[in-house]
């Protein structure tokens, strides 16, 4: 069963960015994030579909010329409970809290 949770703030999308939706999947398997000197530049998710296959979502953003990359793999019994983005003009840091642990990536909050 898939469900959609409402955001606390409607202005989650960074300046000049667009809102996106990868669709409904059973679970998230991997989170890929790129960051440069200005903030988060790209996020991409791999999902588990209804048959158990891994499906790669679209890249949302751009790969920076210079910067850092991180990938977070979720365990089979792990799921995301909270996503928090820090920033103003752009998303400087993003944090994913699961039922097991916390992943954060980016600059200062």
86 falls within a domain: yes
Find out whether 51 and 75 touch, Cβ atoms under 8 Å: no
CATH number at residue 94: 2.100.10.30
Helix (H, G, I), strand (E, B) or coil at 31: strand
pLDDT value for 15: 55
Determine the average pLDDT of the residues in 15-28: 78
94 falls within a domain: yes
pLDDT value for 106: 77
What is the span of the domain harbouring residue 41? Answer: 27-106
21 falls within a domain: no
Q: How far apart are the first and last CA of the chain?
A: 33
5 falls within a domain: no
4 falls within a domain: no
How many distinct structural domains can be found in the chain?
A: 1
93 falls within a domain: yes
4 confidence band (pLDDT: 50, 70, 90): very low
Q: What is the pLDDT of residues 39-83, one digit of tens each?
A: 888 999 999 999 999 999 999 888 888 889 999 999 999 999 999
Indicate whether 19 pLDDT > 80.
Answer: no
34 falls within a domain: yes
């Amino acid at each position: 069963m898939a469900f959609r949770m409402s955001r606390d703030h409607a202005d989650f999308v960074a300046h000049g960015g667009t809102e996106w939706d990868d669709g409904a999947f059973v679970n998230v398997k991997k989170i890929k994030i790129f960051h440069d000197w200005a903030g988060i530049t790209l996020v991409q998710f791999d999902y588990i579909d209804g048959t158990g296959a891994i499906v790669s979502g679209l890249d949302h953003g751009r790969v920076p010329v210079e910067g850092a990359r991180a990938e977070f793999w979720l365990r089979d019994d792990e799921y995301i409970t909270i996503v928090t983005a820090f920033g103003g003009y752009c998303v400087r840091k993003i944090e994913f809290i699961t039922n097991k642990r916390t992943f954060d990536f980016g600059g200062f909050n």
